[in-house]
C-alpha cells in the first residue's frame, strides 16, 4: 500500500525527487539551498523549521513536541517524517531539498519506510571543523547556540550521528561531496555542476551535415570534450567529423587524424586517442601537434582486432571473434602485453561509454 506522498505521485504521473542535504553546522547548507531553490525549482524543507512551526501553531501535536524538547527528549522520527510528508504534499512541487535530515540512521530508516522514497542522492557539504567553528562564531544571527561550548557539542553530535548516514549512502554511490570550505560563489559552481549533470532531458545538438554515418559503420569516441566520428567501414569514402559541445558546432577532422584512422579506437581518459591497425597488428597513438599517428607496439595477436576499450593506462583489445582479449599496458616502458581468455563458452565485447558533454 502506497504512502500519501507516493500515491499522490502515481496519480499525477510524476516522479517525486528527494535530495538530502547534509553537512556540519556552519558548512553553508542554508545558503546553497536558497541558491538551488532559485536556480533549479526545488522546494526547500528544513526538519527543524517544520518542528518549530508546528510548536508555534499551538496544535496538539505542537504541544507534544514542545513538551518533549523541554524534557530533553528526542522527538520521534515518525513525527518529523510525517511533518515532512505533509509539507511535500502541500507544496504542489515534486522536487525537494530536505535540509539537515536525516540526522541519524533511525531517521533515515523511518523516512524510507514511511514515505517509500529513497533520495536521488545526498548533497554532502564537507567542511573542516575549524572553518565551521570560525563561521559560527563570527556570524550574527542572534542564535543562542552560537557559543563555543554549544558549538563543540553540536559538532560531536554531527560526527557521531550524521556521518554514519553519509557512509551508508556512500556505499550506495549516492553521495555527491562538495568542498564547502571555499567561498560561497565557488561552492555554488560545484553545486550547479552536480545538478546540471542530473537533468533527465535530452537536448538536440546541431545537425551533422557532412559525411554518411550510421551505427553500423561508425567509430565514435569522446576526446577533450569533443565527439570524434569516423566511418571506418562500408563502401563509402572515409569521412570524419568532430563535434564541439562548447560551441555546438561540427567541423572537419584533420587530414592526418582521418587518414591514419584504421581500425578500432578508444580515448584514454579523454586525453589520448589510441587505435589498432587491425591489418598490421599495430597500436598507434595520435599526436595532435603533428597531426600524425605514432607506433606504440606491434604484435601478430592484434591482427584482426575488432573492438577496444581504454582505461587506467591499459588497452583491452577484443580479437579472434571475441574469443580473446589482448591487454596492452601503454604506460609501461616498454609497453607490456598479455592475453586474457574469457570463460569457456563465452565471447567478449568491448564497450566504451562516451563521456557526458555539456555546454552549460
Tell me: is residue 154 an annotated ligand-binding position. Answer: yes
119 is in an annotated binding site: no
d(CA 306, CA 266): 12
> How many Cβ atoms are within 10 Å of 205's Cβ, its own excluded?
15
By the 10 Å C-beta count (0-12 exposed, 13-18 middle, 19+ buried), 70 is classed as exposed
What are the residues whose beta carbons fall under 8 Å from the beta carbon of 112, sequence distance 6 or more? Answer: 118
Residue 29 assigned as binding residue? yes
Quote the CA–CA distance of 356 and 360 in Å, as a whole number. Answer: 12
The answer to whether 225 is a known ligand-binding residue is no
Check the annotation: does 69 bind a ligand.
Answer: no
182 among the known binding-site residues? yes
DSSP 179: E
What is the rounded distance in angstroms from the CA atom of residue 24 to the CA atom of residue 131?
11
The answer on whether 254 is annotated among ligand-binding residues is no
Q: Is 28 annotated as a binding residue?
A: yes
353 annotated among ligand-binding-site residues: no
Cα–Cα distance list, 93 to 8, 9, 87, 111, 312 (Å): 11, 10, 10, 19, 43
> 100: annotated binding-site residue?
yes
221 labeled binding residue: no
Query: Is 359 annotated as belonging to a binding site?
Result: no
CA triplet 208, 238, 325: central angle to 5 degrees? Answer: 100
Residue with cell 547534509: 22
The response to whether 31 counts as a known ligand-binding position is yes
Q: What whole-number distance in Å separates Cα of residue 321 and Cα of residue 336?
A: 23
Ligand-binding site membership of 232 (annotated): no
Q: Does 75 show up as a binding residue in the annotation?
A: yes
Point out which residues pair with 20 in neighbouring strands.
Answer: 98, 122
**Residues in the annotated binding site:** 26-31, 52, 73-75, 100-103, 107, 139, 143, 154, 182
**Residues in the annotated binding site for a ribonucleoside 5'-phosphate:** 52, 73-75, 100-103, 143, 154
**Residues in the annotated binding site for ATP:** 26-31, 139, 182
**Residues in the annotated binding site for CMP:** 107
Amino acid at each position: 500500500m502506497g504512502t500519501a506522498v507516493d500515491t499522490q505521485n502515481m496519480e499525477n504521473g510524476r516522479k517525486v525527487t528527494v535530495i538530502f542535504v547534509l553537512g556540519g553546522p556552519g558548512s553553508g547548507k542554508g545558503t546553497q539551498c536558497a541558491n538551488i531553490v532559485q536556480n533549479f525549482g526545488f522546494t526547500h524543507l528544513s526538519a527543524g523549521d517544520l518542528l518549530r512551526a508546528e510548536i508555534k501553531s499551538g496544535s496538539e501535536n505542537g504541544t507534544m513536541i514542545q513538551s518533549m524538547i523541554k524534557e530533553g527528549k528526542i522527538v520521534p522520527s515518525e513525527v518529523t517524517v510525517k511533518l515532512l510528508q505533509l509539507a511535500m504534499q502541500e507544496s504542489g512541487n515534486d522536487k525537494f531539498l530536505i535540509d539537515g535530515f536525516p540526522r541519524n540512521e533511525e531517521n533515515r530508516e523511518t523516512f524510507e519506510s514511511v514515505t517509500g522514497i529513497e533520495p536521488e542522492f545526498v548533497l554532502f557539504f564537507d567542511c573542516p571543523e575549524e572553518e565551521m567553528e570560525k563561521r559560527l562564531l563570527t556570524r550574527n544571527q542572534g542564535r543562542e547556540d552560537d557559543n563555543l561550548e554549544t558549538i563543540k557539542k553540536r559538532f560531536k553530535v554531527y560526527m557521531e550521528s550524521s556521518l554514519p548516514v553519509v557512509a551508508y549512502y556512500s556505499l550506495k554511490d549516492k553521495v555527491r561531496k562538495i568542498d564547502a570550505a571555499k567561498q560561497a560563489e565557488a561552492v555554488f559552481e560545484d553545486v550547479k555542476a552536480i545538478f546540471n549533470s542530473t537533468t533527465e532531458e535530452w537536448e538536440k545538438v546541431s545537425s551533422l551535415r557532412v559525411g554518411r554515418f550510421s551505427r553500423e559503420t561508425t567509430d565514435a569516441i569522446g576526446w577533450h570534450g569533443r565527439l570524434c566520428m569516423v566511418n571506418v567501414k562500408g563502401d563509402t569514402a572515409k569521412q570524419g567529423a568532430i563535434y564541439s559541445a562548447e560551441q555546438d558546432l561540427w567541423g572537419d577532422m584533420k587530414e592526418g587524424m582521418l587518414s591514419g584512422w584504421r581500425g578500432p579506437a578508444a580515448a584514454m581518459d579523454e586525453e589520448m586517442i589510441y587505435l589498432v591497425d587491425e591489418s598490421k597488428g599495430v597500436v598507434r597513438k595520435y599526436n595532435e601537434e603533428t597531426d600524425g599517428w605514432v607506433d606504440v607496439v606491434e604484435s601478430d595477436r592484434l591482427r584482426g582486432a575488432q573492438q577496444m576499450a581504454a582505461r587506467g593506462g591499459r588497452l583491452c583489445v577484443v580479437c579472434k571473434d571475441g574469443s580473446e582479449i589482448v591487454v596492452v599496458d601503454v604506460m609501461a616502458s616498454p609497453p607490456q602485453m598479455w592475453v586474457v581468455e574469457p570463460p569457456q563458452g563465452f565471447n567478449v565485447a568491448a564497450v566504451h561509454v562516451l563521456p557526458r558533454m555539456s555546454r552549460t
